[in-house]
Amino acid sequence: MQGKHLYEYAVIRLVPKVEREEFFNVGVILFSKKANFICSLCHIDEEKLKLYATELDPEMAATHLQVFQKICSGDKDGGPIASLDVPERFRWLTAIRSSCIQTSRPHAGFSDNLDETLERLFRELVL
């Protein structure tokens, strides 16, 4: 995606014990309405997960995070939300919820290359 694009992004967080409100970053979702772009990258650091909660299955958490990617890509396996238009998918994914997978509030910026921006944010905020 080339050209100057206004984008929004949110950090995807894993909250192993919602009642403790402790979390760590496991992904980033980036959206640009003008470019009709939505994409997410996710990774769970299993060593970090063990520090927060030993009873949470990393494979189960990874499966739940894959839904973000399915919804972003419009995959039929993403359920009815994946068939919404791009802005609606982003708003649904970043809605405030009380679950073990949450997102930050959206943040905005400008980018000449949305794919590179997503990669940079992922490296800075997750890895």
pLDDT one-digit tens code per residue, 27-59:
999 999 999 999 999 999 989 998 888 888 889
2 pLDDT exceeds 80? no
61 pLDDT exceeds 50? yes
Q: Rounded mean pLDDT of 102-111?
A: 97
Q: Are 28 and 122 in contact (CB under 8 A)?
A: yes
Query: Rounded distance, CA 52 to CA 46, Å?
Result: 10
- Assign 1 a pLDDT band (cuts: 50, 70, 90): very low
DSSP 18: G
16: CB partners within 8 A, 6+ apart: 22, 23, 49, 52, 53, 56, 100
Domain that holds residue 68: 5-125
Q: What are phi and psi of 104, to 5 degrees?
A: -75, 175
Q: Map residue 114 onto helix, strand or coil.
A: helix
* Closest alpha carbon to 25 in 7, 38, 40, 8: 40
Rounded to a whole number, what is the distance in angstroms from the first to the last CA of the chain? 24
pLDDT tens track for 71-94: 999 999 999 999 999 999 999 999
pTM metric for this prediction: 0.92
11-15, 17-21, 35-39, 62-66: range with lowest mean pLDDT? 17-21
CA 120 to chain centroid, in Å, comes to 14
pLDDT above 90 covers what percent of the chain?
76
Q: What is the number of structural domains in the chain?
A: 1
